[in-house]
Structure 1
């Protein structure tokens, strides 16, 4: 099987630290070429891999190259639609970094473009959708009777050393909610991967740090399409505190609890019982070993899908990732209306 030639567009921190190492060791992909708006940065990036044969002068040249099989686009998300338009014109498979777009209008346009051109593969890179815990939690909640509520909590201290803070598109975000969508779509990919889509939102947001550019913490009440109610708490902009990440799901015959805080031994605690007075109470611990916390798994799945032409393997379609952004959009809109109940927009 010949490997898939990848053109890497945007050669910044994440391309260097995450994408390139995964592509280098992949059985499916070869880093073939690259492009950056500042060509010198692309040339420096190209030196990191002997297989990178080309550095382009323009973005259009990337898509015009007949030897490129896949464009891996790591762009400020307000440019995702423009990149997809070039992919459509030149019939190139493309993967785009999350969130899907800067706002709902752009996201709708991107979804429609992908729908209109099924001959190319359009993937949004959202690796939390491939967490092992998504499958394990789904299996666990099937055992706790009717699910009624949930608590999703992810908070932590502000990291002044975060290299990504210095990128101008994050300091002056065009994407709705700034860090709330940049990082929040990870959390919402995980939450909805387990419980399904969100129907309505009532939320409040605040800005803690000037460096965030806009509001950076969110406290929300969510209702799923299936009728469960729960809370979503997100923000890493606080002062000295322990980073705390957990997901609890409650049913009439038990509960499921997953602690995914950094440094914790990732596991799921499944507690059964309570459906009736005579139901036996049980407790089981399900370990999550070698969780897919990096982008390795999503590129493995993408490689499998492209090599077999079985695009159904890809979980992070434009429609799916539209929903993640639309929840953030609903959170922001609700907060602007002092916590009013708002519906999550559909594509």
Structure 2
């Protein structure tokens, strides 16, 4: 990438290997070269470096950094002048300190969602960035790939174009099956989470981010109940919530990581209704297409000039699931001085997703004002 020095990946987990490396490969020359990788352990850092060399077709692996070696630790990596940005993919409670450390070293940062483990720590992190680093033209973004997905962006564009009229109702439904053998559960920091909500926080923010992107108004209030169905998913694995999103707009959000079977009930992941139609959004498989596809189905009411005849017009939009690639492309454009204006990765918006989960976990059926919660009141 012209004018931009290298990038480093901090964190060597599953998502770094299976999402971020393929995204960098897809971006090709439009992404800065991967110069270094870091993990707490030497073994995992070396493993990531070798995987990177294969996926990115590098002539040699990126440099390896790890803890317990003062000559090859994170401080040494961050001191490199040929690295201008870092991708932080570390456990939820570890990330904030590393984000600040990288910013203090003069690096641009994109850190994986959620922005923080809770609203209070997120507000502190954002305040620190705004006070100490934003004025230095250092960019920090939160990598929320659902926010960046072309499918959800297409649904948002359709709504803002008036294709379903004025939005009044919505439904969001996430049903997932997590057993003790899945690769995601076997990650140690997820097995015994030191943060609220467990998978509901780690995975649930995706669903809320997609809602945030598509709805014409921010989520403002929530009343919900949280429960635990499977002991190994403690502290909670289910949220049922009623949600308000601006005047006259309300809906429901069900986040369930306790499905009893791998099969799931049929239904839409998202459904949004307006005065002139509706749309649904689902992940689907499409013959001949590798990876998931996000399908948006739009049904609009078409009336005759005298309103005597009414028919439904259907439009189907299929977009590839390339959220990680899209968020990284936007980040790299921003640090090269070519911000795409999409507003992706805003830390306060990402904290709104955390606020929703926190409110629903603690609501107990009482109404929680999300705006007030985000003010730290």
Kept in 1: contact 2:119–2:354 (CA 8 A) = yes
Kept in 1: contact 2:143–2:345 (CA 8 A) = yes
Q: 1:115 corresponds to which residue?
A: 130
Deviation at 1:64, TM superposition (A): 1.9
Q: What is the CA–CA distance in structure 2 between the aligned matches of 1:146 and 1:279, rounded to whole Å? A: 22
Deviation at 1:262, TM superposition (A): 6.1
Determine which of 142, 150, 153 is the counterpart of 1:124: 142
* 1:176 to 1:110, Cα distance in 2 relative to 1, 3 A: same
Q: 1:166 corresponds to which residue?
A: 186
Determine which of 331, 338, 342 is the counterpart of 2:368: 342
Determine which of 260, 264, 268 is the counterpart of 1:242: 264
Supply the RMSD in Å over aligned alpha carbons.
2.5
Deviation at 1:312, TM superposition (A): 4.0
Kept in 2: contact 1:70–1:92 (CA 8 A) = yes
Kept in 2: contact 1:123–1:314 (CA 8 A) = no
Normalising by structure 2, what TM-score?
0.83
Q: What is the CA–CA distance in structure 2 between the aligned matches of 1:226 and 1:87, rounded to whole Å? A: 41
* 1:133 to 1:40, Cα distance in 2 relative to 1, 3 A: closer
Q: Secondary structure of the residue that 1:33 maps to in structure 2?
A: strand
Kept in 1: contact 2:178–2:185 (CA 8 A) = no
Kept in 1: contact 2:148–2:323 (CA 8 A) = no
Q: What is the CA–CA distance in structure 1 between the aligned matches of 2:309 and 2:61, rounded to whole Å? A: 60
Deviation at 1:270, TM superposition (A): 1.7
Kept in 2: contact 1:153–1:232 (CA 8 A) = yes
* 1:303 to 1:293, Cα distance in 2 relative to 1, 3 A: same
Q: What is the CA–CA distance in structure 2 between the aligned matches of 1:297 and 1:178, rounded to whole Å? A: 27
In structure 1, the gaps of 5 or more residues are none
* 1:137 to 1:46, Cα distance in 2 relative to 1, 3 A: closer
Q: 2:102 corresponds to which residue?
A: 87
Q: 2:20 corresponds to which residue?
A: 19
Q: What is the CA–CA distance in structure 1 between the aligned matches of 2:251 and 2:95, rounded to whole Å? A: 32
Deviation at 1:280, TM superposition (A): 4.4
Q: What is the CA–CA distance in structure 2 between the aligned matches of 1:113 and 1:130, rounded to whole Å? A: 25
Kept in 2: contact 1:302–1:314 (CA 8 A) = no
Q: What is the CA–CA distance in structure 2 between the aligned matches of 1:148 and 1:120, rounded to whole Å? A: 39
Kept in 2: contact 1:257–1:269 (CA 8 A) = yes
Q: 2:56 corresponds to which residue?
A: none
Aligned residue-pair number: 344
Q: 1:229 corresponds to which residue?
A: 250
* 1:277 to 1:204, Cα distance in 2 relative to 1, 3 A: farther
Q: 1:6 corresponds to which residue?
A: 7
Q: 1:106 corresponds to which residue?
A: 121
Q: Secondary structure of the residue that 1:77 maps to in structure 2?
A: coil
Determine which of 69, 79, 85 is the counterpart of 2:84: 69
Deviation at 1:297, TM superposition (A): 1.5
Q: What is the CA–CA distance in structure 2 between the aligned matches of 1:311 and 1:61, rounded to whole Å? A: 32
Q: Secondary structure of the residue that 2:138 maps to in structure 1?
A: coil
Q: What is the CA–CA distance in structure 1 between the aligned matches of 2:22 and 2:350, rounded to whole Å? A: 25
* 1:21 to 1:341, Cα distance in 2 relative to 1, 3 A: same
* 1:77 to 1:277, Cα distance in 2 relative to 1, 3 A: farther
Deviation at 1:343, TM superposition (A): 1.2
Q: 2:289 corresponds to which residue?
A: none
Kept in 1: contact 2:118–2:196 (CA 8 A) = yes
- Aligned ranges for residues 197-346 of structure 1 at < 5 Å? 197-240=218-261, 241-242=263-264, 244-260=267-283, 266-272=295-301, 278=307, 280-310=309-339, 312-334=341-363, 338-344=364-370, 345-346=373-374
Kept in 2: contact 1:267–1:285 (CA 8 A) = no
* 1:85 to 1:273, Cα distance in 2 relative to 1, 3 A: same
Deviation at 1:89, TM superposition (A): 1.7
